[in-house]
């Protein structure tokens, strides 16, 4: 059986939906979660009734802002929580561990596209805690032979990101404002770029990993960069409204350009399907907003 942690979250919920023989664990209730459990506590008793051979660890404190406000809670979830799962894996002879890391581990890009060999110099407690969790997982490979893959997603988007959360991504925020006819707010000149990847491509890569079970680190993106100005234009056009675009001072610590090298993921068969305009339309502006995988 495949354990998916973070099953009430954006990525975890899609994983439960699309991976057969999987079971979801999360602290929060949802239709995708079978086991309600806080990973900051040891995990054995929660999994007593199950035989787990693979763990996909997507549960995390995901907000950069929150990690700055409360680095201890961030570390408890992302570091201690990961250690609890790794300890479970070690004791119960789990065969494969997929760790969901983040592009935040790279910090300010030194060159583009960013490949997996790029220096890791996180700029937030969140980036550091995700990197530490990843290092622990890889250490369990060294020490105990646990097969471990770490996925570093760039900017994931899906209709399951809550636009009302102050920690939400730019796509959900712009779409929400567009629907309400509110101005789109761009921090800085809008020429900063990101590699936006739809959640289905992240699921695709994870399924490919599950098949071959390699050990290593894999970026997950599209190898394309889109500026925030372009993104605002796309969403304004789709909405069909005469939305105002307002520029505010840049966000402190904002990265200028970012996009992934995905050569390594390609080597195991990954082919990104993300098409920003089409996906934003079908995820957010069609009647069926499920955006199912």
Shortest distance (Å) from residue 77 CB to ligand UD1: 14
| Interatomic CA distance for residues 209 and 149, integer angstroms | 8
Write down the least CB distance from residue 53 to ligand UD1, Å: 30
Told to check if 285 binds ligand UD1 by CB under 6 A, we report no
58 binds ligand UD1 (CB under 6 A): no
Q: In whole angstroms, what is the distance from residue 22 CA to residue 1 CA?
A: 6
Among 10, 22, 77, 155, binds ligand UD1 (CB under 6 A): 155
Contact between 104 and ligand UD1 by CB under 6 A: the answer reads yes
Residue 170 sits in the site that holds ligand UD1 (CB under 6 A): yes
Catalytic residue among 99, 106, 126, 218: 126
Report the C-alpha gap between 50 and 122 in whole angstroms: 36
Kindly tell me which residue out of 35, 83, 185, 208 binds ligand UD1, with binding defined by CB under 6 A.
185
Total residues interacting with ligand UD1, rule: CB under 6 A: 21
Residue 96 bears catalytic tag: no
* Among 35-43, 163-171, 200-208, 234-242, the segment contacting ligand UD1 (CB under 6 A): 163-171
Q: Which of residues 244-273 bind ligand UD1 (CB under 6 A)?
A: 251, 254, 258
**Where in 115-244 does DSSP place strands (E)?**
147-153, 155-157, 184-187, 193-194, 196-198, 216-220, 226-227
Question: Which residue in 7, 54, 78, 192 binds ligand UD1 (CB under 6 A)?
Answer: 192
| 80 binds ligand UD1, rule: CB under 6 A | no
Return the residue of 2, 4, 137, 173 that touches ligand UD1, per CB under 6 A.
Answer: 173
Q: How far is the CA of 258 from the CAs of 53, 85, 182, 277, in angstroms?
A: 35, 31, 27, 19
H or E stretch at 84: helix 81-91
Is 206 near ligand UD1 (CB under 6 A)? no
Stretch binding ligand UD1 (CB under 6 A), from 12-20, 99-107, 112-120, 135-143: 99-107
CA 140, CA 99: separation in Å to the nearest integer?
12
Q: 122 near 76, Cβ under 8 Å? A: no
Q: Determine the longest span between alpha carbons in the chain, in angstroms.
A: 59
DSSP one-letter code for 82: H
Q: How many CB atoms lie within 10 A of CB 162?
A: 11
**CB-based burial of residue 91 (10 Å sphere; 0-12 exposed, 13-18 middle, 19+ buried)?**
exposed
Which of the residues are catalytic?
126
Binding stretches for ligand UD1 (CB under 6 A) = 62, 64, 102-104, 126, 155, 167-170, 173, 185-187, 192, 194, 228, 251, 254, 258
């Amino acid at each position: 059986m495949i354990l998916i942690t973070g099953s009430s979250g954006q990525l975890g919920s899609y994983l439960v939906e699309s991976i057969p023989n999987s079971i979801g664990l999360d602290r929060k209730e949802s239709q995708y979660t079978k086991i309600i459990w806080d990973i900051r506590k040891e995990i054995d008793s929660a999994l007593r009734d199950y035989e787990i051979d693979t763990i996909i660890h997507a549960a995390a404190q995901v907000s950069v802002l929150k990690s700055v406000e409360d680095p201890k809670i961030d570390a408890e979830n992302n570091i201690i929580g990961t250690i609890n799962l790794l300890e479970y894996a070690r004791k119960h002879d789990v065969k494969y561990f997929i760790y969901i890391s983040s592009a935040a581990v790279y910090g300010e890009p030194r060159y583009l596209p960013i490949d997996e060999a790029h220096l890791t110099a996180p700029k937030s407690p969140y980036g550091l805690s995700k990197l530490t969790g990843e290092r622990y997982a890889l250490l369990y490979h060294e020490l105990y032979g646990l097969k471990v893959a770490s996925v570093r997603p760039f900017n994931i988007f899906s209709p399951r990101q809550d636009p009302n959360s102050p920690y939400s991504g730019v796509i959900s925020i712009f779409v929400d404002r567009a629907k309400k006819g509110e101005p789109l707010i761009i921090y800085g000149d809008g020429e900063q770029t990101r590699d936006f990847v739809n959640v289905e491509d992240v699921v695709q890569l994870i399924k490919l990993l599950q098949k071959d079970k390699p050990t290593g680190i894999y970026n997950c993106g599209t190898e394309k960069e889109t500026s925030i100005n372009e993104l605002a234009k796309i969403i304004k056009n789709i909405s069909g409204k005469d939305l105002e675009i307002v520029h505010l001072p840049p966000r402190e610590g904002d990265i200028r350009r970012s996009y992934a090298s995905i050569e390594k993921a390609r080597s195991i068969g990954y082919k990104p399907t993300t098409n920003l305009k089409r996906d934003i339309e079908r995820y957010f502006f069609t009647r069926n907003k499920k955006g199912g995988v």
